Amino acid sequence: MRVSELSRSSGVPVATIKYYLRAGLLHRGETTSPNQARYDDSHLSRLRLVRALVEVGGLSIAVVKDVLAAVDDPGTGVHEMLGRTLHAVTGPAVDGGPGPDGDAERADADLATITEYTGWALSESAPALAGARSVLARMHALGHGPDAGTLRLWADAANRAAEADLQAVARAGSREEVAETALVGTVLGDALLAALRRIAQEDRSRRQFRSDG
Amino acid sequence: MRVSELSRSSGVPVATIKYYLRAGLLHRGETTSPNQARYDDSHLSRLRLVRALVEVGGLSIAVVKDVLAAVDDPGTGVHEMLGRTLHAVTGPAVDGGPGPDGDAERADADLATITEYTGWALSESAPALAGARSVLARMHALGHGPDAGTLRLWADAANRAAEADLQAVARAGSREEVAETALVGTVLGDALLAALRRIAQEDRSRRQFRSDG
């Protein structure tokens, strides 16, 4: 297909496609004349992944290149490729500032409660672990540290979401599709989960408090 | 207590306290001399709530005033007060732009699947509903619309989180504490849930894919 068809099929403007070609995020098509090239399904699927990384993940070109390198290297196993992809979209930890002594220790105790309950094997270098620790410390600093029952419910919630995520990933075909599915499902899924949580809160609040209104 | 003690006890700088006093977010203390006033526990608890609304919720002074009006009006039931508080921190819907025809319809069908499964009574005007609809439409536009099994797992996850939220709210004492607990738990809880989801994903991915690495 020509670049105009590639644009139509992918929903990515021609100018953006040309930019991705120059930046090396998309491989060149087969040259058919000095001003034309032919593209195929490999360009379409790569373009879908790049679009997801840039538009949904909000990643810089440099980080997109790093993720694509992991996707394209058959020596990088699927688990590691997913890690590289999802670590890239895990923002910096919420910075609670230096809390009173003891908040960090309480956050670590919370994480111990969670791992004992879930059996999760935590990789100490994962950005999400630093993120969870930082948020928990901030909750304690504000006097709203969760109790064990709350931690277990949150861990259950995270487990359900992750179960859905990995099921979707398992249905994906190529390594590109695996990375794309994980990225879109995780980033948009965070926003969806937050919205559904608000809806569920409202439903519970109505049943719990409506009589006192 | 003096303003310096109020600052120490609350963790809010004196200059910020004086700003909140001028802005009408905090009631005046009892004047003890032309340059001094005495503050009590009512100032401390109000300051905690204002701090949570401003620092954690990221709300403007005008929106904080609106939330405080609902907290202070005994004619506003707890359910409505919670709604005013949490609607204020529910950001604008993810804007997926005008998707292809059919994405909005698919999103509505997804929401119907969710409500049939959960029994949630949706209030059509809730910002979270528009948010969920918009995120789902964007997923469909990207070719990653969730299937019914995924929707049910996400709804389960949201239900667990909301269960924890409402349990924490039920343990709170005054209306101010109810609003503060709901706000901190929801806003920081979204960040925590996203982090725990990443950790759970990593654990599942390791078990599912590690052998192929």
pLDDT in tens, B18-35: 999 999 999 999 999 988
CA distance A177 to A81: 12
Longest dimension (CA), chain A: 76
Quick check: B112 contacting A, CB < 8 Å? no
pLDDT-based confidence at B213, cuts 50/70/90? very low
Neighbours of B182 (CB within 10 A): 26
Q: What are phi and psi of B37, to 5 degrees?
A: -140, 155
Partners of A31 in beta bridges: A37
Q: What is the pLDDT of residue A213?
A: 43
B99-157 pLDDT, tens digit per residue, is 566 889 999 999 999 999 999 988 888 889 998 999 999 899 888 999 999 999 999 99
Q: Find, in chain B, the residue whose alpha carbon is nearest to that of A76.
A: B213
CA distance A151 to B153: 19
Q: What is the pLDDT of residue A56?
A: 84
Of A143, A168, A209, the CB nearest to B77: A209
Which B positions 70-99 lie with beta carbon below 8 A of chain A? 77-80, 82-83, 86, 90, 94
For chain A of 213 residues, list the mean pLDDT of each consecutive stretch of 10: 93 94 94 92 92 87 92 92 88 57 90 96 86 91 91 96 93 90 90 93 90 52
B193 and A196 within 8 Å at the Cβ level: the answer is no
A139 and B184 within 8 Å at the Cβ level: the answer is yes
Residue B42 pLDDT > 50: yes
Q: What is the pLDDT of residue A91?
A: 66
Q: What is the pLDDT of residue A99?
A: 59
A200 and B162 within 8 Å at the Cβ level: the answer is yes
Q: Which amino acid is at B187?
A: V
Tokens of residue B195, six digits: 């982090």
Q: What is the pLDDT of residue B16?
A: 94
**Mean pLDDT for chain B?**
89
CA distance A154 to A118: 11
A132 and B196 within 8 Å at the Cβ level: the answer is yes
Which range (A103-107, A177-181, B56-60, B62-66) has the least confidence? B56-60
CA distance A137 to A94: 10
Q: What is the pLDDT of residue B95?
A: 53
Q: What is the pLDDT of residue A120?
A: 94
Residue bearing tokens 């688990």: A79
**What is the distance of C-alpha A176 from the center of its chain?**
15
CA distance B141 to B144: 7
Given a contact cutoff of 8 angstroms between Cβ atoms, the answer to whether A39 and A8 are in contact is no
A164 and B150 within 8 Å at the Cβ level: the answer is yes
CA distance A17 to A90: 26
Quick check: A132 contacting B, CB < 8 Å? yes
- Is ipTM strictly over 0.90? no
Q: Please choose, from the candidates A211, A168, A111, A160, the residue with its C-alpha nearest in 3D space to the C-alpha of residue B162.
A: A160
Distance from the B33 Cα atom to the nearest Cα atom in chain A, whole angstroms: 32
Mutation site, B53, B159, B167, interface A, largest A CB count within 10 A: B159
Of A79, A143, A201, the CB nearest to B210: A79
Q: What is the pLDDT of residue A52?
A: 87
Q: What is the pLDDT of residue B163?
A: 95
Distance from the A38 Cα atom to the nearest Cα atom in chain B, whole angstroms: 24
- Reduce the DSSP state of residue B32 to 3 states and report it: strand
Whole-Å CA distances, B49 to A19, A36, A195, B68: 48, 63, 23, 9
Q: Find, in chain A, the residue whose alpha carbon is nearest to that of B114.
A: A196
A206 and B94 within 8 Å at the Cβ level: the answer is no
Of B158, B184, B202, the CB nearest to A123: B202
Q: What is the DSSP letter of B173?
A: -
A197 and B123 within 8 Å at the Cβ level: the answer is no
Of A149, A170, A197, the CB nearest to B167: A149
pLDDT-based confidence at B69, cuts 50/70/90? very high
